[in-house]
A = this chain, B = another copy of it.
């Protein structure tokens, strides 16, 4: 059962879809508020349905400026530890979201068994990224989302959680490390972080522009037979452009570009040594 909370300036009551839909419909029909929370509600009943779905298995609070004031937004805890929030545009810029989210995080950490909270934020949603950082969440990872771009995972733990596993590094045996480095750079903009030997017999590639990102190691087979491996490269966008580059590089395409039932657009390319790379991107790019 969701319990009422309060902050210095705000009242957070358990969200009631029918009672609160009219107030929250204001936010749900504001295209600027719903940019990253599409779609815009068609009508009040649609907003009731959305709120009903939201509260089904989760804790949601309607946010008010006075005990009997109108709902100006909501904050939620999805599955006990997933932060969600939305405020009507008329009250932006007052620090309300920070205040309400902080209260909900404090509440979450008072629940038995909850030692971490996370927010999943569209990487293009700089306002929500800033809010998440302001309430003490920091970047933990990234995930694909249904549209183009990436969902940034930000999290906070009640107690510091020391890292145990730093990285999982895939390794591919290749005939020619330098040629493979060039191929991965052309296809995916992977970047050599470490190169050993001249000509290289080992290279460690970063998958993005930052140090310490997810890595791929290339190791010269040096005449030994190569057993093919399988990898998936998850793209935020430009899947068809990568497909075109793979074709231009003369790579074999084992499976053509296909929209998958799990909401991703994918194809499979085969490296000269037989390694299969599934390339996965958002549908519609």
Binds B, one of A49-57, A92-100, A148-156, A243-251: A148-156
Binds B, one of A19-27, A135-143, A174-182: A135-143
Tell me how far the C-beta of A65 lies from the nearest C-beta in chain B, rounded to whole angstroms: 30
Cβ of A207 under 8 Å from chain B: yes
- Are A169 and B234 neighbours in the complex by a CB distance under 8 Å? yes
In terms of DSSP, what is the predominant structure of the interface of chain A? strand
Q: How far is the CA of A211 from the CA of B139 in the complex (A)?
A: 11
Given the known A-B contacts A141-B213, A212-B140, are A238 and B170 also in contact in the complex, defined by CB atoms under 8 Å?
Answer: no
Given the known A-B contacts A139-B139, A171-B231, A229-B227, are A165 and B236 also in contact in the complex, defined by CB atoms under 8 Å?
Answer: yes
Cβ of A237 under 8 Å from chain B: yes
Q: How far is the CA of A155 from the CA of B209 in the complex (A)?
A: 10
Tell me the A2-20 residues at the B interface (CB within 8 Å).
none
Cβ of A266 under 8 Å from chain B: no
Provide the A101-143 mask, 1 if CB < 8 A to any CB of B, else 0.
Answer: 0000000000000001010100110100000010000111111
Given the known A-B contacts A143-B211, A212-B143, are A165 and B233 also in contact in the complex, defined by CB atoms under 8 Å?
Answer: yes
Number of copies: 2
Contact of A165 (CB < 8 Å), options: B139, B217, B230, B235: B235
Cβ of A144 under 8 Å from chain B: yes
- Are B166 and A236 neighbours in the complex by a CB distance under 8 Å? yes
Q: How far is the CA of A78 from the CA of B243 in the complex (A)?
A: 37
Given the known A-B contacts A133-B138, A162-B123, are A168 and B233 also in contact in the complex, defined by CB atoms under 8 Å?
Answer: yes
On chain A, which size bracket covers the interface? 35 or more
Tell me the A152-201 residues at the B interface (CB within 8 Å).
152-153, 155, 157, 160-171, 173, 188-190
- Are B118 and A171 neighbours in the complex by a CB distance under 8 Å? no
Q: How far is the CA of A133 from the CA of B156 in the complex (A)?
A: 14
Given the known A-B contacts A153-B211, A210-B155, A213-B141, are A164 and B235 also in contact in the complex, defined by CB atoms under 8 Å?
Answer: yes
Cβ of A214 under 8 Å from chain B: yes
Cβ of A258 under 8 Å from chain B: no
- Are A230 and B168 neighbours in the complex by a CB distance under 8 Å? no
- Are A214 and B171 neighbours in the complex by a CB distance under 8 Å? no
Can you report 29 A-B residue pairs in the complex whose CB atoms are below 8 A from each other?
A116-B210, A124-B162, A139-B140, A141-B213, A142-B163, A142-B212, A143-B166, A143-B212, A144-B166, A144-B167, A150-B163, A151-B212, A153-B211, A153-B213, A163-B236, A164-B188, A165-B208, A165-B233, A165-B236, A166-B234, A166-B236, A167-B233, A168-B231, A168-B232, A169-B232, A171-B229, A227-B228, A227-B229, A229-B229
